[in-house]
Amino acid sequence: MPIGESLVAEPSLSIVIPVHNGGESFRQCLWSLKQYGAAASEIIIVVDGGTDASLQLAQASGARVIALPTAGGPARARNLGAQLAQGDLLFFMDADVTLQADTLSQVIAIFRDQPGLAALIGSYDDAPGATNFLSQYKNLFHHYTHQTGSETASTFWGACGAIRRSVFLELGGFDEAYRYPSVEDIELGYRLKRAGYSIQLCKTVQVKHLKRWEPLSLLRAEVLYRALPWTELLWRDRQFANDLNLKTSSRVSLLLTYGLLLTLIAGVGWSGAWIGATGLALVLLLLNLPVYQFFCRKRGFGFTLQVIPWHWLYFLYGGAAFVVGTGRYHLQQWRRPNQTRVPQV
């Protein structure tokens, strides 16, 4: 054996991609697979219904394609792909991301060198595909959150995440009760941790996100498909870990943002409230200074000034969703033991 050659065999890797009306982003995703997907032993694309040309594009790519007549959500689509996969590792990626040249080679090497590792998640890069402000802000903020997070992760991530296939099948895969892109990946991560498995945040494993965000699409996704179901999941599993979006600084910022809102409202009838509002705003700026310094380095001072109100709005709608989600969860728990059992006919 040549000097320096590893005694440990490299695990094989299967890529699984769900797609529903993928559009131009899916075309770019397939291009990146053609350029940088050679390290994978197979590529499985699950076309989850849809009305565009995603099925034809998938079939022309040379990947193994599963076509579903109606959409059932990415959880079901990923599970179907995983059940057919043959690789030791399952690498899940979204249809609106593109690989980098070393994404897959890094994933394979990490699992090869850490036989006790069950799963890993990566990060968006710092060059989002869509150029409008909101897309740049949201995707860069996601990049910042992962780049500053603990490498010992508490959740899984379906846009750029890998897991040993044996572990995935043992746990039953993603929860198919989530019919839309939601928190099915976070829920899987909580089950992984509860079962004693390790998840690593690998900050150099990156993909580019191509999605274009607009105000309504962002708020709908953030509140209805993310914050509300995540809140109910947090209460179900009692997983209030100080990690990623649940950092202590974010929780304090949420309280400060609501305090600022209340003092601004009070300022309509009482000028003294403006002193308190100014103080709270300064504290918010200082507490989140690392975030704003990051944006300033990446996109400049003018861009950062636009970020601040959106960042504070993020705390506001996140807090409101947490209150509503908490109420919904506890109401469901209260109703459950009081529900009358319906006789089976």
Question: Domains in the chain, please, with CATH?
Answer: 13-213 (3.90.550.10), 244-336 (no CATH)
CB 104 within 8 Å of CB 91 = yes
Report the distance separating Cα 209 and Cα 145, nearest Å.
15
CB 135 within 8 Å of CB 225 = no
pLDDT computed for residue 272 by the predictor: 80
pLDDT computed for residue 205 by the predictor: 98
pLDDT computed for residue 8 by the predictor: 65
Residue pLDDT tens, the chain, 345 long: 343 344 568 999 999 999 999 999 999 999 999 999 999 999 999 999 999 999 999 999 999 999 999 999 999 999 999 999 999 999 999 999 999 999 999 999 999 999 999 999 999 999 999 999 999 999 999 999 999 999 999 899 999 999 999 999 999 999 999 998 999 999 999 999 999 999 999 999 999 999 999 999 999 999 999 999 999 988 888 776 655 556 777 889 989 998 999 998 988 878 788 888 899 999 999 999 999 999 999 999 999 999 999 999 999 999 999 899 889 888 888 877 655 433 333
pLDDT computed for residue 103 by the predictor: 98
Report the distance separating Cα 242 and Cα 269, nearest Å.
38
pLDDT computed for residue 183 by the predictor: 94
Q: Which residues of 207-237 are buried (b: 16+ CB within 10 A; e: fewer)?
A: bbbbbbbeeeebeebbbeebbbbbbbbbbee
pLDDT computed for residue 269 by the predictor: 76
pLDDT computed for residue 274 by the predictor: 83
Report the distance separating Cα 260 and Cα 280, nearest Å.
6
CB 266 within 8 Å of CB 287 = no
Six token digits for residue 239: 């997983």
pLDDT computed for residue 247 by the predictor: 73
